[in-house]
Amino acid sequence: MKRLVILGLACLLIMSGIVYGAEKWTHGKFAMWLVRKVGAEGLLPPAATVQDYFNFLRRNGIEPPGGWEEDKILTVSDLESMLGLKPEAGYTFEELLKMIEESLEEILFTAPEIPAVSPSVP
């Protein structure tokens, strides 16, 4: 009986939030991680605050549903929404992190093609 109770408690802990490694990710931790991960900290003001990170991501089209909240727990659903995926798309948290990282890198570091302009002669 004692083993069953311990097993039940372990399952509850796993299901209730001991996810994404040893700790949960907040919006603030995620925003700072993402900007640092893609090497874009130099695009922020000196002594940037969490709000600066949020504003930077927002300007680049990355924002969770309902907006950024520093201490709110980041969910798989948040990441799916930021990537424009359908809910319960079947990706893991880690896969979604990689996808959003690649998406931001593409936004920041892929120069748009500028058509060649020929000078006109009157």
Domain with 55 in it: 20-108
**pTM greater than 0.75:** no
Q: 108 near 40, Cβ under 8 Å?
A: yes
pLDDT of residue 16: 38
User: What value does the mean pLDDT of the chain take?
Assistant: 82
Please give the tally of structural domains in the chain: 1
Tell whether 115 is covered by a domain: no
Q: 36 near 97, Cβ under 8 Å?
A: no
Provide DSSP, 66-84.
Answer: T---TTSBP-HHHHHHHTT
Tell whether 114 is covered by a domain: no
Q: Which is nearest to 25 in space by CA: 93, 103, 84, 83?
A: 93
pLDDT in tens, 78-97: 999 999 999 989 999 999 99
pLDDT in tens, 37-60: 999 999 999 999 999 999 999 999
**Amino acid making up residue 80:** E
Tell whether 3 is covered by a domain: no
User: How far apart are the C-alpha atoms of 36 and 110, rounded to whole Å?
Assistant: 18
Tokens, residue 7: 């097993």
Tokens, residue 117: 């302009």
**Residue 25 DSSP label:** P
Tell whether 122 is covered by a domain: no
Per-residue pLDDT band at 119 (split at 50, 70, 90): low
| Per-residue pLDDT at 12 exceeds 90 | no
Q: For 22-51, what is the mean pLDDT? A: 93
Percent with pLDDT over 70 in the chain: 71
Tell whether 93 is covered by a domain: yes
pLDDT of residue 118: 62
| Per-residue pLDDT at 75 exceeds 70 | yes
pLDDT of residue 11: 42
**Residue 45 DSSP label:** P
Tell whether 35 is covered by a domain: yes
Tell whether 120 is covered by a domain: no
User: How far apart are the C-alpha atoms of 106 and 89, rounded to whole Å?
Assistant: 22
Tell whether 46 is covered by a domain: yes
